[in-house]
Amino acid sequence: MTNDPSKSGPSKVETNGGSAKARSTGSESRLDETTVGPPPMPGAGGDFESWIGQKLGKYQILSVLGKGAMGVVLKAHDLTIERDVAIKVLADHLAQDNLALGRFFAEARAAGKLNHPNVMGIYEICQDGPMSYLVLEFVPGGTLEDRLDKTRVLPVLDATRAMIDACRGAGAAHAAGIVHRDIKPANFMVASDGSIKVADFGLAKGTGEGARHFTQTGMVVGTPYFMSPEQCETKPPDYRNDIYSLGA
């Protein structure tokens, strides 16, 4: 990671209608010249809280929202336009894996094609030395799964609204030729107004002829409790997989 402002800064890739463009943020950057990156990525079980208060590019890290085998999700503040964002940092060992890195970027490109109130927005893809991360819309209400863990059941009106919003978000993806393949409450984010935003397109797959493939033939992907029989059998995906998962 480059800390010397006199040298070329980190490379960034921004989505633009689903494509990716690289740009340099060197000495002519609009950022403060003292901006530095966070400490190196901790290993498994590492102390991500040590990142709080530090800067990652133009983002001031505020808190750790969650962490798992794939990496960590941070809450941060965009210092240039004064808004909160979520930053999804890919685990260090996966950042060295071309297949995992390809899926990570595919998530951004898939979600970057969508502009819908029921889909979690993505702002940019960044690579800072060996570190790769996505900058996402910050959705303050946590996941629908978190809410279900607390309440066990939802009131009928809330459940109906959640399903309508989830269907609209999935429908927007289908209209863009994208099958999510991992529809479940853990991937439904609850916005401050109670609406649902579909998130985590890490397993999404395009249905067009030019779609790129990051899973091996015969590989089962998804969450078993919510997968359609066809998805379990590794048949070619289409939008009906997501419809089944919504019903499950």
Return the active site residues: 182
Count of C-beta atoms within a 10 Å radius of residue 65? 16
Q: Are 144 and 161 in contact (CB under 8 A)?
A: no
Query: What is the C-alpha separation between 23 and 59, in angstroms, rounded?
Result: 17
Residue with tokens 């790129």: 212
Structure tokens at 50: 């040590």
Query: What is the C-alpha separation between 205 and 191, in angstroms, rounded?
Result: 25
Query: What is the C-alpha separation between 46 and 33, in angstroms, rounded?
Result: 29
